[in-house]
Amino acid sequence: MIRTCARCGARNRVPAARLAEQGRCGACKEPLPPPAEPLDVDATTFTEIVSGARVPVLVDFWAEWCGPCKAAAPEVARTAAGVGGRALVLKVDTDREAALAQRYNIRSIPNFVVFKNGLPIAQHAGVVDHRRMQAWLEQAAQS
């Protein structure tokens, strides 16, 4: 995964297994904090992160045309901001990544799937608030 340094703009490659950890920019040595926003991913990046992450991963399967998905987006962003370093939050556009959505039996959106150690452990269709999403991630971390 490529992370851009906020200070110098350098692009830093961060392995999926270390994405939730604080790193350092290779160019200016400034801290690179864990992502505090949802990461929009394609199928390749999804697989890399979900299979390599050392923390639980919440995936929001969504589409641009979906009204409920747009309503859920601020809650997803709030969740990502609240769990930085303890979990990761990904967004998968089901129109662009239809095969990935099919693999996880996504029939309605928004649809949230929690992964731990590369495996799906919980799934929920429909809009929920950030507290519920954070509770899913906390449960996953404890299991």
Among 5, 25, 28, 69, the active-site one is: 69
- pLDDT greater than 90 at residue 84: no
Of residues 130 and 143, which shows the higher confidence score? 130
What pLDDT sits at residue 73? Answer: 98
Active site residue 66: yes
DSSP string covering 76-140, please? HHHHHHHHBTTBEEEEEETTTTHHHHHHTT--SSSEEEEEETTEEEEEEES---HHHHHHHHHHH
- 47 HSE (CA, 13 A, CB side): 7
- The Cα 101–Cα 99 span in angstroms is 5
Check residue 20 and report its DSSP letter.
Answer: T
pLDDT of residue 103: 96
When the pLDDT of each residue in the chain is averaged and rounded to a whole number, the result is 96
Active-site residue, selected from the candidate residues 5, 25, 28, 66: 66
For residue range 4-47, list pLDDT tens digits in order: 999 999 999 999 889 999 999 999 999 999 999 999 999 999 99
Residue 28 annotated as catalytic: no
Show Cβ contacts of residue 11 under 8 Å, excluding neighbours closer than 6 positions.
Answer: 2, 3, 4, 5
Q: Evaluate if residue 1 carries a pLDDT over 90.
A: no
pLDDT at 49 over 90: yes
Domain boundaries, the chain: 36-142
Superfamily for domain range 36-142: Glutaredoxin (3.40.30.10)
